[in-house]
Amino acid sequence: MSPRTPHDDTHPHAPALATAAAPAPAPGQHVVVIEDDEALGGTTAARISRWGSTADRLSRPDDDALRRRLREPADGIVIVSRDDIVALRYALLAEHLKPGVRLVVTIFDRTVADEVSRTVPNCTVLSTTDVIVPSLLASCLAPRYAMLLPAGDDVVGVRREGRTAVVERVPRRALTAGGRSRPRGTFPAWFRSLGASARALVASFAALLTVLALDVTLGVLVLHEHWTDATWHAARTLTTIGSSPAAEHGPGWYKIFSAASMLLALVLAAVFTASVVDRFTGHRMTTILGARSIPRRGHVVVVGLGQVGLRLSAQLRRLGLRVVAVERNPHAPCLPLARALGIPVVLGRGGDRFLLERLCVRRARALAAVASDGLENIAVAVTTRAVAADQRIVLRAGGDEVTTESRSLFRIGAVCDVTHIVATSVALSVLDAAPLSVFVADDRTCALFPGDRVVDLAAWDTERERQLSPD
C-alpha cells in the first residue's frame, strides 16, 4: 500500500497520445559487457540476451584479458562502473583496441562524461543520474505519472491508464502548485529549523533588542528623558560604555535594574559575537533567511547528497520547488557544488527523528531517500513514516531483496529501482534503440522514444518468444 497522495497534482496542458508500437532491436548482435558493478552488469547482460543478442561479461578485466576478447567479433561494448575514472580508462582502451566500435558507458560526473564524449566520438555516455531522475521527479511531485522529463518550458509526463501509456505536456507551474493543503509555517517552526549557532545568534540578538527597549522605556518613564536621549543612553548602557547621567539621581531599584541589564548585555553580546564569528568562519550550508534557508512548507527533503541527490535537488529547484538536502558526511564531494547552486544542506543522519522534525517533514511535499546504501534509505523511510504517517516517501533502491521484503511488510513508499532502470537504458542504447527515458509503470518496464512513442518492453519479450516458438 502506498502513502496517501493528492489527486490533483497536475493538470494536462496538451492532448494525450496513446502508446505507439516500435520494432524490437535487431537480434543476433554480439555485445561485450565490461563491469565492476556486478548487479548492474548482470542485469544489463540479461536484458541484452532477452532481446535475442549475446552478452559476454568481463568483470574488471586487465589489459591482456580485454585485448584477447576484443580480437573476436563484437557489435558493441558496454562499460558499467561505479568509478568514473575506471569507466573512462576502459572506454579509451576499448576504442584503442577496437576503433569505431559502438560504445556505451555509464558515467556519474558531467565533467568526465563530456571528456569521454569529446575523446571518443562513437561513444554514448549515459549519466546514471539523468536516467533515474525522471522517475524520482514523478514519484516526488506527481505519482500518477510514471516519469517527468523537463523539456523547455513544459515537462513531458507519461501516465499509465490501465494498459495504455499516455504522454502529456505538463506546465511547470502545475507541478509547483500541486500538493496537499498544508498549514502555514510558524515562527516556532522556523526557529526549530535553525542550527544551534543560528538559534544562538537570533536569540541573543532578540534579547539585546529587548534589553534596549526596556532601557529606553524606563528612561522615558522613570528618568523623564526625551526618547532620543533615552535611546542614546540605553545604547551606551547596552554597549557597556556608560549609563545615563540622570540615573545617578534615579530610584534605587532602577540602579539595580541598570546594573543587571549591563551585566546581562555583556553576556548576550559575547554570545552574539561568538555566533557571528561562527557564521562567518564556519562552512555553513544554510542561512537564516534567503534562498539557502531551510524551507518550512511545501518543500522536498532529499536525504543523501551524492550525484543522484544533487541532480534531483538541482532539478527540483529548476522547476521552482524549494528543497533541502541531508548529508551525513561533512566531506562529501558534492557539498561545494550544492553550496554553489544555492541548495541548503543540513549535515546529519537522515534517520534521526529530531532532524526530520527540524526539517518540518510533516509540512513537506515529499521526502526522497536517495543515498547509495539501500538499508540506510529504508531506515530513513521507517523514521519518516513514524514522524509523518501520511507523508509521500520515495526510495532509491538497487533491486535488492531487502527492499522488496520491506515493501511487503509495511508502507515503505514508492521505490525507484536504479539498477533495473539504468540497465534497461544501457541495453537499449547498445542495441541502437536510443530511448529518451526508461521508467517503470505499474510494475511494467516502459521506454519513451522520440516522437512521443511509449513502448511497453514486455511486448518485445512476447514478440521474441513468438519468434522462437515452433510453428
Give the model's pLDDT for residue 19: 47
Give the model's pLDDT for residue 399: 59
Give the model's pLDDT for residue 283: 67
Contacts of 5 (CB under 8 A, 6+ apart): 143, 144, 392
What is the share, in percent, of the chain residues with pLDDT greater than 90?
24
Q: How long is the chain?
A: 471
Give the model's pLDDT for residue 77: 94
Residues of the chain with pLDDT under 50: 1-20, 181
What is the share, in percent, of the chain residues with pLDDT greater than 70?
83
Contact 439, 146 (CB under 8 A): yes
Give the model's pLDDT for residue 170: 85
Please state, in angstroms and as integers, the Cα–Cα distance from residue 319 to each residue in 54, 104, 138, 402, following that order.
Answer: 41, 30, 12, 33
Structural domains of the chain in order of their starting residue, each with its CATH number:
187-191+286-420 (3.40.50.720), 196-281 (1.10.287)
Give the model's pLDDT for residue 16: 38
Q: Where are the alpha helices (DSSP H) in 81-221?
A: 84-97, 110-119, 128-141, 172-177, 187-193, 196-221
CA 95, 100, 105, 111 torsion: positive or negative?
positive
Please state, in angstroms and rounded to a whole number, the distance separating the CA atoms of residues 78 and 107.
12
Choose among 241, 249, 256: nearest CA to 232: 241
Please state, in angstroms and rounded to a whole number, the distance separating the CA atoms of residues 355 and 245.
50
Give the model's pLDDT for residue 6: 37
Give the model's pLDDT for residue 15: 37
Show the CA angle centred on residue 390, arms to residues 358 and 328, nearest 5°. Answer: 35
